[in-house]
Amino acid sequence: MAKLYFKYGAMGASKTAQALMCKFNYEQKGFQVFLFKTLLDNRTVKNGKGLVHSRIGLESECIEFSKNFSFIAYFNNQKFDKDKSVIIVDECQFLTKEQVDELKILSLQIPVLCYGLLTNFKTELFEGSKRLVELAESLTEIKSVCRCGRKATINARFINGKIATSGEEVMIGADETYEGLCFACYKKLIDEK
């Protein structure tokens, strides 16, 4: 059934791996999958093409989008079967409010599955995530584990081994920069700062 899905989790929750497994499952059933990721994440490019890459080694070429990208305009110029197509967006927290609105309109025709973070390292909602919470018919938390074993809910940023509480919202990084923590461990590190 065509609708807008938002699958979110803290750093290390396997969001990208799940997006790529979902893509594989749809393709195995004969669907045309339009896989998107933000141009902000330029760490993974292969042969000049954008690549969605997970920490466990799964990867796939993708369509990259910028803040000015129009999903409606893109799909107005694409041939696709409404009954056998799907849109998957990785790192959906970087979508603009307007882009989420466009994806909502497209979800009236084909399924749109968005994978990403809910909050930034300051524990505030990203613009794209906020709008997805407001519009998605399906919200699913992908759980991850803190270093202490509790559920990770905070996307902690580390700079030179120290927890960061200020700075630009967007700083692309992975395990070297971010760690999913529970609130208790996050608060303890803040208090020790």
Q: For residue 78, count CB atoms less than 10 angstroms from its CB and return exposed for 0-12, middle for 13-18, buried for 19 or more.
A: exposed
Residues labelled catalytic: 91
How far is residue 187's CA from residue 177's CA, in Å, rounded to a whole number?
18
How far is residue 110's CA from residue 141's CA, in Å, rounded to a whole number?
22
Place of tokens 């079967």: 81
What 3-state DSSP class applies to 127? helix
Integer angstrom CA distances of residue 22 from 19, 56, 68, 121, 135: 5, 15, 27, 27, 21
How far is residue 187's CA from residue 193's CA, in Å, rounded to a whole number?
10
How far is residue 52's CA from residue 119's CA, in Å, rounded to a whole number?
21
